[in-house]
């Protein structure tokens, strides 16, 4: 009996050690794992909001109006930090990421592509700006499709 309990305890400790931090943090705060992974895993580059119905709007931090379409929904918070609405995460998809871990990999990858495309746009010279804006918009479109229905992840 003593060996069984010791083995069970060792197994629990090993499982706790390898569980992604985002999963435990999100569970403690009552927020979905995918929300925490996007907000905290990208150092505030993404901001997710909800009206409490389980659906989330995804915003990306922007430095200025460069590349933002006229129809874009941009909001500015205190300290002049601005965010652009770029995607929607329906409640039906939130549940797919509750376990954390590897099923978040494709979402994180798409989020990284958006972040990197925006960084490239910010550094692009005037001759490359149009191409960079198109690449950023394409990355946003693919990220949105990934979040909405798991497509293009």
Give the CB-side neighbour count of residue 106, counting CA atoms within 13 A.
Answer: 14
- The arrangement of strands across the sheet holding 56-62 comes to 46-49, 56-62, 82-89, 74-76
27 pLDDT more than 90: no
Q: What is the pTM of this model?
A: 0.79
3-state secondary structure of 131: helix
Burial 73-103 (b: 16+ CB within 10 A, else e): eeeeeeeeebbbbbbebeeebbeebeebeee
Q: What is the pLDDT of residue 101?
A: 57
The average pLDDT across 119-135 equals: 97
Q: What is the pLDDT of residue 150?
A: 84
Q: How far apart are CA 96 and CA 101, in angstroms?
A: 11
Residue that the structure tokens 């918070």 belong to: 77
96 pLDDT more than 90: no
Q: What is the pLDDT of residue 123?
A: 96
Q: What is the pLDDT of residue 102?
A: 56
């Amino acid at each position: 009996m003593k060996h069984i309990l010791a083995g069970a305890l060792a197994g629990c400790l090993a499982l706790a050690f390898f569980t992604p931090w985002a999963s435990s943090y999100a569970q403690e705060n009552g927020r979905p794992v995918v929300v925490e992974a996007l907000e905290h895993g990208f150092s505030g580059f993404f901001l997710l909001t909800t009206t409490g119905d389980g659906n989330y709007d995804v915003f990306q931090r922007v430095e200025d109006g460069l590349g933002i379409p006229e129809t874009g929904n941009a909001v500015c918070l205190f300290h002049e930090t601005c965010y652009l609405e770029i995607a929607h995460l329906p409640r039906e998809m939130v549940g797919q990421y509750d376990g954390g871990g590897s099923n978040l990999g494709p979402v994180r990858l798409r989020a990284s592509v958006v972040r990197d495309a925006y960084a490239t746009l910010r550094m692009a010279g005037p001759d490359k700006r149009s191409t960079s804006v198109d690449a950023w918009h394409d990355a946003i479109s693919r990220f949105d499709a990934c979040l909405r229905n798991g497509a293009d992840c």
